[in-house]
Amino acid sequence: MRGGLWQLGQSITRRLAQSDKKAVGRRFFSGESELKKTVLYDFHVAHGGKMVPFAGWSMPIQYKDSIMDSTVNCRQNGGLFDVSHMCGLSLKGKDSIPFLESLVIADVAGLAPGTGTLTVFTNEKGGAIDDSVITKVTDDHLYLVVNAGCRDKDLAHIEEHMKAFKAKGGDVSWHIHDERSLLALQGPLAAPSLQQLTKDDLSKLYFGEFRILDINGAHCYLTRTGYTGEDGFEISVPSEHAVDLAKAILEKSEGKVRLTGLGARDSLRLEAGLCLYGNDMEQHITPVEAGLTWAIGKRRRAEGGFLGAEVILKQLEEGPAIRRVGFFSSGPPARSHSEIQNEEGKSIGEVTSGGFSPCLKKNIAMGYVKSGSHKAGTKVKIIIRGKAYDGAVTKMPFVPTKYYKPT
């Protein structure tokens, strides 16, 4: 059994590394000494973290427990993730909302202050430059987090359009929060553990909501969100307080919340049916094809006004040619780029993410198939190392989500 779990860890390490290579190109993997480290690096190593290159950073893929055990523990108790490699930034100014709306598909103006949503930065062809969680802090302050592997291209894209916007008289400026670290606390013990470290009543903070508050004596940005399908939080904390906050969270949970690495994070997000940029979403995939139609605000569908709107609105009207779907499959776990065939042996698509689900104890995957072959229950063949294995399209998420919402 140990050998199988080790192989799973190695497979995820390779898969994460491969997505990095696609995302950040030739500047990556030139040497361990060039990798950036979060302020929690020594803390990870002291707790048995196995450090691997990811998006130009040295990050823990797992700790002393296995990826399988760590995944299950997050759903049963809780997991604490260092996601400080991701890039937080603020947009400020009276025109920050119309500026951001020119780049993303969300109805930012329609958000209530202190709430947020998942959105997608699009290019002129409607493809995804990156996905991001954005929050309207106030009418003239927006906070967003972008993926580590997309940081350079995202910031260049935003800056290019900001210069043009400001040249026309627009009032918008930005600040990149490199002075802050980002922790993700996920699972059923997330709220009870964090509540012990703040005076604010977290029972009144629902999924997708944001608050600025003191946690463990530090001035934090708190969003009730995550990447696991569980209830939880992402905590932006001044970097000088990050290690103390991580220690305090683990202590308040009496050891039940564990440090959790990128390996389990990948398993958890796949079980929750969530996209990994560079695998399940790329420059040539539109939000409609990716199954993120719900993230396109109603007003935006009527008005457009974002890059690639013509392509995206046409797909909304006529339907996309391909669609992202989930699969259960037999045989070895399907991996990225595994071919998908219909029962007649005709190629209909490709797997983008796959693996063995630690919680369901079965193979799960997601990928893209031609429209018409996307309905749940459709039988398919998945080609792995030249051999066809039975599979079936299934609805996602694979594991039910447990987001904290008003009853």
Residues in CB range of 56: below 8 A, 6 or more apart: 20, 24, 27, 28, 34, 35, 36, 85, 148, 149
Beta bridge partners of 215: 218
Q: Which residues are annotated as a binding site?
A: 234
**Beta strands 339-341 and 128-138: pairing type?**
unpaired
Beta bridge partners of 356: 363
> What is the rounded distance in angstroms from the CA atom of residue 265 to the CA atom of residue 16?
11
Token pair for 90: 């603020």
Q: Which residues are annotated as a binding site for substrate?
A: 234
Token pair for 394: 């299934």
> What is the rounded distance in angstroms from the CA atom of residue 233 to the CA atom of residue 211?
11
Q: What angle (nearest 5°) sits at the alpha carbon of residue 82, between those of residues 196 and 147?
A: 125
Q: What's the length of the chain?
A: 407
Find tokens 């993997």 and name the residue. Answer: 29
3-state secondary structure of 342: coil
> What is the rounded distance in angstroms from the CA atom of residue 305 to the CA atom of residue 44?
44
Query: Of 79, 405, 95, 46, nearest to 269 (Cα)?
Result: 79
H helix runs in 180-308, sequence order = 190-195, 242-252, 262-271, 298-303
**Contact (CB, 8 A) for 184 and 234:** yes
**Contact (CB, 8 A) for 234 and 183:** yes
Q: What are φ and ψ of residue 257, in 5° steps?
A: -80, 125
3-state secondary structure of 175: strand
Q: What angle (nearest 5°) sits at the alpha carbon of residue 400, between those of residues 108 and 226?
A: 45
Cis peptide leading into residue 397 (ω within 30°) = yes
Token pair for 275: 């996209």
Find tokens 């457009």 and name the residue. Answer: 304
Angle (deg, nearest 10), helices 67-76 and 2-24: 90
